[in-house]
Amino acid sequence: MIAFENITMRFGGVAAVDQCSFEIPSGKITGLIGPNGAGKTTAFNVIAGHLQPTSGRILLEGEDITALPAHKRQAKGIARTFQLAHEFHRMTVVENLMVAAKNELGENILNAIFRPGQCKAQEQAAYDRAMETLKFLEIEQLKNQLAGDLSGGQKKLLELGRALMQHPKIILLDEIGAGVNRTLLGKIAEKIIQLNKEHGYTFCLIEHDLDYVSRLCDTVIVMAQGTLLTTGTVDEVRKDERVIEAYFGGGKYQEAV
């Protein structure tokens, strides 16, 4: 479980997240929703260690990880995808996955010189895992394609693949469905459910499409103006007056969702 404990994140005079607390339970798919500017991406950045909060704590299974840099949180099993895919566009799909793998030996030049055999073995293991991941995501036919030439939806699948290469326990998905066609959207949902139900991965996902969220998530956390508004099932929060007010200022919400 991740505990987001009384977090404030200020950018100058703006509190993007303001004394906000919530929990992401292990083994579940949890949604993080809220209107534009609610602080959702900032919350992900704080959890993943890309931003150091002004105050508050992040706990991973009870351990305070607030002071840890992003790569150490990654080593503890927290992976994330980005709203705008972060692929290396001049590298192939399989190379993109391989560079996302944990690589303890080859990154050190001395290891590369004095332990070439071990480095080679690690590279082979990364390749095998990359191919396994591509097969799981059913995009192995794209392995030699330049990542920059992929469609928007394929790039999102590659983002998910890059997260999986890190052997994560928890994957934070930032608008994985944005700009993706319906067919690929269905496939991404199917893969997330499979990873959760069959392999025990924990997910937290930011998503604007509430039907997509309700298909995937048992529980959602609703943020507005940097604070926690409520938590519940999608059906519960859809009827919540505070949520309606936050999204539409009490306007024609029912017809819109």
Q: How many chain residues interact with ligand ATP (CB under 6 A)? A: 11
Which of 24, 38, 130, 243 is the binder for ligand ATP (CB under 6 A)?
38
Does residue 202 belong to the site contacting ligand ATP (CB under 6 A)? no
In this structure, are residues 169 and 115 in contact, taking their beta carbons and an 8 Å threshold? no
| Closest CB to ligand ATP among residues 35, 232 | 35
Which of 2, 7, 16, 85 is the binder for ligand ATP (CB under 6 A)?
16
> Listing from the earlier edge strand, what are the strands of the sheet with 55-60?
14-24, 2-11, 55-60, 63-64
Please give the Cα distance from 228 to 12 (Å, whole number).
21
Task: Provide the β-strand partners of residue 79.
Answer: 171
Give me the least distance between CB of 16 and ligand ATP, in Å please. 3
Does residue 74 belong to the site contacting ligand ATP (CB under 6 A)? no
Which of 3, 24, 31, 39 is the binder for ligand ATP (CB under 6 A)?
39
The 8-class DSSP code of residue 196 comes to H
Does residue 81 belong to the site contacting ligand ATP (CB under 6 A)? no
Does residue 41 belong to the site contacting ligand ATP (CB under 6 A)? yes
Does residue 14 belong to the site contacting ligand ATP (CB under 6 A)? yes
Please give the Cα distance from 172 to 82 (Å, whole number).
9
| Closest CB to ligand ATP among residues 37, 77 | 37
Task: List the alpha helices (DSSP H) in 3-151.
Answer: 40-48, 70-75, 93-100, 109-114, 116-136
| Per-residue binding letters, 18-37, with ligand ATP (x by CB under 6 A) | ----------------x-xx
Which of 42, 74, 122, 202 is the binder for ligand ATP (CB under 6 A)?
42
Please give the Cα distance from 228 to 94 (Å, whole number).
39
Please give the Cα distance from 207 to 185 (Å, whole number).
12
| Closest CB to ligand ATP among residues 34, 153 | 34
**Residues 223-242 contacting ligand ATP, CB under 6 A:** none
Does residue 7 belong to the site contacting ligand ATP (CB under 6 A)? no
How many CA within 13 A on the CB side of residue 79? Answer: 21
In this structure, are residues 220 and 32 in contact, taking their beta carbons and an 8 Å threshold? yes
**Sites of contact with ligand ATP (CB under 6 A):** 11, 14, 16, 34, 36-42
